[in-house]
Amino acid sequence: MAVRMGLKDDCRIMSDHDSLAKRLCQVSPYAGRIEPLIGLIPEIMERNDQLRPLWTAWRQNAPPDLTPRQYFARGQIKVLCDFVEYLYFASDAFARSARRR
Amino acid sequence: MALRAKFCVIGTGAGGGILAYRLAKAGADVLVINSGGIPAQSEFQNELSPEQKGHFEIGPHTTFPVRPEIYIVHPLLADARSRSSMECPREGGFHHYQIHHVNGLQNLWNGICLRYSEDDFANCHSYSEDCRWPISLGDLADHYSEVERSAFVAGERNGLRQFPDGSFLAPRSARQIDRVFIDSNAGSLGPDLFFFENRKAVDLRPDSTQKCVACGNCGRGCRSGSVYKFSTHLLPEIRALRNFRLLEHTRAIKLTAVDCDNAEGFSISHVVAIDERTARIVEIEADVVIICAGAIESPRLLLNSFADDRSKAEQVGEFLQDSPRAVVGTSLFRLWFRPANEDRGYGDHILLGGQIKDSQGKRFPFVGQFWSDFMKVPYYLAEMPRLPRFLLETISRQVFKSTVTLVLFSPAVPQRKNKVVLADGVDHFGQHQVRIDYETSEIEADHGRRLAALARRMLRKASGYIVDDVGSPPGSGIHYVGTCRMAADPKGGVVDKDLKYFKSKNLYVCDGSVIPVLSEKHPTLTIMALAHRLAERLIKTYI
């Protein structure tokens, strides 16, 4: 029973994280292109020294009515934009399109 | 646990793999120990699916925008850092790459096989009187041939003095991207510069189950198993032999020495190892011990073993060398808006070699590899000006498929002060790590600048629009040699011309550490040939 509860809680947490990550990525125009990767973003940000503080702040403190552009400072927004842009250009979707054309 | 063997081989890299195979095939009782296990082929996913890599190579220290010097070459290297032989390097210090798996660094070897020349063995380009080859090309020629045949080295016979021919299979044909580079520069090559087909240990035989799939990413670990590795090429043949044992996840931590009564120095009675998974100690009694753990780990083992009696490890760790190199990348504009050529061949298909002048007008030899693959890390984004999104995408697509890199190597300058020494820090098995003192000499820095200028010139001729000098910190050549150098007599080195430790009667060293002078060429084939030669000697002497 305890295990079952744990799994349930994990699922809810992951789902919350996904929606938080999705809102965070709206900072970049490439957000739509990386939608299939949203589930990976919390883990990637957690393990990176530059991104971890941004993710922690967003996860713990961001009011639901604020967008990332309203919440973060200019320099932080640039880092987030570079990160999302990087994810798109490192993705298989981009590589396939580049090889076709 | 106590074990007994005739031969105990420590490590399975370029030297250890060949050595263990030859001894086992000759019927000798061989026990091989190796830190880490056999890497699964699934570790090497070369096709373009970064999702499979999990984190898009974003590591803890990656910064955005991503710079080329930050990205991790392969997850196996990242994994190894937590178990490194050396203390955390200081900023700008020597960067030691290490893989704790069977095959060692050869897991990511791209297969380039270049014989050392008569001039190399005659010390013609040596910058130190303390480091001299005690053998000639003639001593190794047959062993080079044997290794080339068993690793399926492909190449063309070119009759070049600087790059002696070997026993080759027919190479792949040049790619579109190679032709652009060669045709652009052919007219301006002087008599001292030449292109030639790459000589690589890549299986091209059409009927082979391991044949090359031309993904172009050899340097990241071959997923089809066509680039030579001990675990895929030799181990399957000897694994079932009753006289052969491989202990994975077992790390040698100490050699136990017993002084001999006569003038033969000491003998090694036991190798003390630790099982990395259970932390159990394994004691191995062997008649002959051969250390093949690489130019950093081998001296570390020796220095740890003889920490109480330094006279047994005199000169060990000195004269560490790594290939000075220049790395210059660009995108070739002539390939823009052409259909992408899907055949990436070997990735580095063409070699460039010859001699150029340094700032004093003195000639020095170099070798270069012209590399093109589909890049995994879009680090070029950092170089892009802020462009409208549609333009950024269009340009990125063209850069993605037309990016090339020229990597040029020059000879190392051996210096006694460049060395591996025991550090205060310990790893998580309690064994002392090492500190690496390393300074790039003025001569090497000058060579690096000349080579970078040459590379920039050649890439611009081939329509490189932005030429990016990637930079090459110490250690990034990953050609570590010299720390147990071979010599004609004990005053000049650590092992004799048969790779026997001068001060011991049953200890041998067989890896990059025995190479006394690092020429401009990649040392792997020479390490393999030395291992083949040592195996023949040991078979003759002990079996």
State the residue for tokens 């030395």.
B530
ipTM over 0.85: no
Round the CA-based radius of gyration of chain B to a whole number and report it.
23
Those of residues 50-89 in B touching chain A at CB distance below 8 A are 50-51, 54-66
pLDDT band of B90, cuts 50, 70, 90: low
Q: What is the pLDDT of residue A60?
A: 92
Contact B396 A86 (CB under 8 A): no
Whether pLDDT at A44 is above 60: yes
Whether pLDDT at A52 is above 60: yes
Q: What is the pLDDT of residue A4?
A: 31
pLDDT band of B72, cuts 50, 70, 90: low
Q: Which region, left, alpha or beta, applies to residue B294 given φ > 0 means left and ψ of -120 to 50 means alpha?
A: left
Whether pLDDT at B374 is above 90: no
CB contacts, 8 Å: B56 with chain A: 44, 86-87, 90-91
Q: What is the pLDDT of residue B127?
A: 84
Whether pLDDT at B380 is above 90: no
From the CA of B377, how many Å to the nearest CA of chain A? 6
What domain count does chain B have? 1
CB-based contacts of B311: which residues, under 8 Å, 6+ apart? Answer: none
CB contacts, 8 Å: B401 with chain A: 98-99
Q: Does residue B339 have a cis peptide bond before it, meaning omega lies within 30 degrees of 0?
A: no
Q: Which two tokens stand for residue B491?
A: 């005053």
Q: What is the pLDDT of residue A5?
A: 34
From the CA of B141, how many Å to the nearest CA of chain A? 44
List the alpha helices (DSSP H) in B356-474.
Answer: 389-402, 442-461
Residue type, position B302, single letter: L
Contact A92 B377 (CB under 8 A): no
Sign of the Cα pseudo-torsion (B203, B207, B208, B213, in order): positive
- Residue B252 phi/psi, 5° resolution? -70, 130
pLDDT band of B343, cuts 50, 70, 90: confident
- The residue with greater pLDDT, B172 or B261, is B172
Tell me what the pLDDT averaged over chain B comes to. Answer: 90
Q: What is the pLDDT of residue B97?
A: 87
State whether residue B381 sits within 8 Å of chain A by CB: yes
Q: Which domain holds residue B176?
A: 2-542
Nearest alpha-carbon partner for B294 in B4, B9, B1, B15: B15
Query: Domain holding B372: CATH number?
Result: 3.50.50.60
Q: What is the pLDDT of residue B507?
A: 98
Q: What is the pLDDT of residue B101?
A: 94
Nearest alpha-carbon partner for B259 in B309, B314, B316, B317: B309
pTM attached to this predicted model:
0.90
Q: Which region, left, alpha or beta, applies to residue A39 given φ > 0 means left and ψ of -120 to 50 means alpha?
A: alpha
Q: What is the pLDDT of residue B189?
A: 75
Nearest alpha-carbon partner for B32 in B250, B298, B330, B350: B250
pLDDT tens-place string over residues B480-526: 999 999 999 999 999 999 999 999 999 999 999 999 999 999 999 99
- Closest partner residue to A48 (CB to CB) among B50, B58, B376 is B58
pLDDT tens-place string over residues B184-239: 998 877 778 899 999 999 999 989 999 998 888 888 888 889 999 999 999 999 99
User: Looking at B231-297, which runs of residues are DSSP E strands?
Assistant: 244-247, 250-259, 266-275, 281-291
CB contacts, 8 Å: B70 with chain A: none
Contact B59 A48 (CB under 8 A): yes
Q: What is the pLDDT of residue B496?
A: 97
- Residue A8 phi/psi, 5° resolution? -60, -45
Distance in angstroms (rounded) separating the CA atoms of residues B251 and B431: 11
- Residue B305 phi/psi, 5° resolution? -65, -35
**Per-residue pLDDT averaged across A86-101, rounded?**
83
CB contacts, 8 Å: B374 with chain A: 95, 99
Residue B289 bridge partners (DSSP): B8, B507
Nearest chain B residue (CA) to A28: B389
Whether pLDDT at A3 is above 80: no
Q: How many CB pairs under 8 A join A and B?
A: 76
Task: Point out the least confidently predicted range of B167-171, B519-523, B527-531.
Answer: B167-171
pLDDT tens-place string over residues B276-293: 999 999 999 999 999 999
**Per-residue pLDDT averaged across B76-84, rounded?**
68
